């Protein structure tokens, strides 16, 4: 199988050195040359060599400065750099290694030594790239495993009650919308990576309901005190499910966020929630966000014991309150962010509702044709 030649860039203001090193390298590797740092930088806009041989002493930008520039650039930071020098002073060698060079080639050049050292470094670089590729594959595999885990858990809830399944799907979109609105208030906690992880893990907030019997979960009338306490246990059941999951696949930030949301999303900012009755900033931020989302979607959703409310009615109850829900249940910052992006919540709800109705229509047609 044809393999493309690896590429070497030689940067030296001395024409004799350029020709000599080029002659040594060109039989084994595709070779480029530049006689100034500026020329090298221009060339690196078009090519990405596997290794760079760089003279230390050059007019204008010298080798040390050019090496520092290349190590700060995303496109060139991983390219191994050999310094070319006639100076074997240990201080200069230390300086060169500190700015990112991997080795030195000293003048006068021995062709076999030059080729051997370049070849060894290229083999190391090939190994590094292969290892990087394997890490990416493993990361992708873990990401797929995580997504499969989320899907499997969400399907468990949807299998019990299709509307709960739609609630799970809406949750992820609501969460991302609200978290992005709060990003400036919590720049460290709500960075892009954490928002993505929280939004995904938020879809598991009601996973503990798989441990609640249909008799209670789908009851049309009012719940008794005993039944209501049983419903409350879904937060702890869900927490325990995720703890046991961690025992199998190990701890991760995703599962940590999921446990926070599952266990604490029914806690209230004023301390009136469950299962622990904690309040204020004792409640994890992820659960504070999930709390208002869960209430909004519950108000908008049809249940065996109630009709679905309009967007306007749901927002009014959350912001003004009624006999069961009070604005003090929610973090003031989260509540304010919800008010600012409430129209986006209505859009998400309508979009997924239309998708649900379309899917139901397709499934009904299929069953008729069978």
- pLDDT for 31: 93
Examine residue 109 and state whether it is found in any structural domain, yes or no.
yes
CA distance 11 to 37: 7
Sheet holding 7-11, edge to edge: 30-34, 7-11, 51-55, 81-85, 103-106
> Could you identify the residue written with the tokens 């986006």?
344
- pLDDT for 235: 95
pLDDT digits (tens, 9 = 90+) for 217-226: 878 888 899 9
Examine residue 306 and state whether it is found in any structural domain, yes or no.
yes
CA distance 65 to 308: 66
Domain match, 174 and 126 both: no
Examine residue 80 and state whether it is found in any structural domain, yes or no.
yes
Contact 199, 178 (CB under 8 A): no
Number of compact structural domains in the chain: 2
- Beta bridge mates, 85: 106
The region that residue 210 occupies, defined by phi over 0 for left and psi between -120 and 50 for alpha, beta otherwise, is alpha
Domain match, 113 and 170 both: no
- pLDDT for 280: 97
Domain match, 312 and 230 both: yes
CA neighbours closer than 13 Å in the CB half-sphere of residue 324: 4
Domain match, 170 and 255 both: yes
Domain match, 52 and 176 both: no
CA distance 25 to 8: 8
Domain match, 328 and 189 both: yes
- pLDDT for 222: 85
Domain match, 37 and 168 both: no
DSSP one-letter code for 191? -
> Last residue of a domain, which of 132, 150, 173?
132
Assign 85 to helix, strand or coil. strand
Examine residue 72 and state whether it is found in any structural domain, yes or no.
yes
- pLDDT for 366: 40
Burial 93-104 (b: 16+ CB within 10 A, else e): beebeebbbbeb
> Could you identify the residue written with the tokens 């299962």?
275
Domain match, 128 and 166 both: no
Domain match, 324 and 235 both: yes
Examine residue 187 and state whether it is found in any structural domain, yes or no.
yes
- pLDDT for 200: 87
Nearest to 99 by CA among 131, 79, 124, 69: 69
Domain membership of residue 62 as a residue range: 7-132
Examine residue 152 and state whether it is found in any structural domain, yes or no.
no
- pLDDT for 361: 47
Examine residue 67 and state whether it is found in any structural domain, yes or no.
yes
> Last residue of a domain, which of 115, 132, 149?
132
Examine residue 207 and state whether it is found in any structural domain, yes or no.
yes
CATH of residue 49: 3.40.50.2300
- pLDDT for 181: 96
- Measured in degrees and rounded to the nearest 5, phi and psi for residue 259 equal -65, -40
Q: Which residues of the chain have pLDDT under 50?
A: 1-2, 360-370
């Amino acid at each position: 199988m044809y393999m493309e030649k690896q590429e070497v860039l030689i940067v030296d203001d001395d024409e004799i050195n350029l020709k000599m090193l080029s002659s040594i390298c060109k039989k084994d590797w595709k070779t480029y040359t530049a006689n100034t740092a500026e020329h090298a930088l221009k060339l690196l806009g078009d090519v990405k060599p596997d290794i760079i041989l760089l003279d230390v002493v050059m007019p204008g930008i010298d080798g040390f400065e050019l090496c520092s520039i290349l190590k700060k650039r995303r496109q060139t930071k991983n390219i191994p750099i050999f310094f070319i020098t006639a100076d074997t002073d240990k201080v200069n060698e230390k300086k060169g290694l500190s700015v990112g060079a991997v080795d030195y080639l000293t003048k006068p050049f021995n062709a076999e030594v030059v080729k051997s050292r370049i070849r060894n470094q290229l083999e190391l670089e090939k190994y590094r790239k292969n290892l990087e590729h394997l890490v990416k594959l493993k990361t992708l595999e873990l990401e797929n495993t995580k997504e499969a885990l989320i899907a499997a858990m969400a399907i468990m809830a949807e299998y019990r009650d299709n509307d709960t399944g739609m609630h799970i799907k809406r949750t992820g979109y609501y969460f991302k919308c609200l978290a992005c609105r709060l990003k400036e208030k919590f720049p460290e906690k709500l960075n892009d990576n954490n928002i993505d992880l929280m939004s995904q893990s938020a879809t598991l907030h009601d996973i503990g309901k798989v441990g609640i019997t249909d008799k209670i979960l789908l009851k049309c009338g009012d719940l008794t005190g005993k039944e209501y306490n049983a419903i409350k246990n879904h937060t702890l059941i869900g927490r325990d499910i995720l703890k046991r999951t961690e025992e199998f696949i190990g701890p991760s930030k995703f599962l940590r966020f999921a446990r926070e949301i599952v266990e604490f999303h029914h806690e209230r900012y004023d301390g009136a929630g469950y299962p622990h009755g904690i309040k204020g900033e004792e409640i994890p931020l992820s659960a504070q966000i999930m709390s208002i989302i869960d209430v909004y979607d519950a108000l908008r959703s049809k249940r065996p014991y109630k009709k679905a409310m309009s967007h306007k009615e749901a927002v009014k109850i959350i912001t003004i309150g009624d006999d069961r829900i009070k604005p003090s249940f929610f973090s003031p910052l989260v509540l304010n962010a919800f008010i600012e992006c409430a129209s986006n919540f209505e859009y998400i709800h309508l979009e997924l509702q239309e998708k649900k109705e379309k899917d139901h229509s397709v499934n009904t047609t299929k069953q008729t044709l069978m």
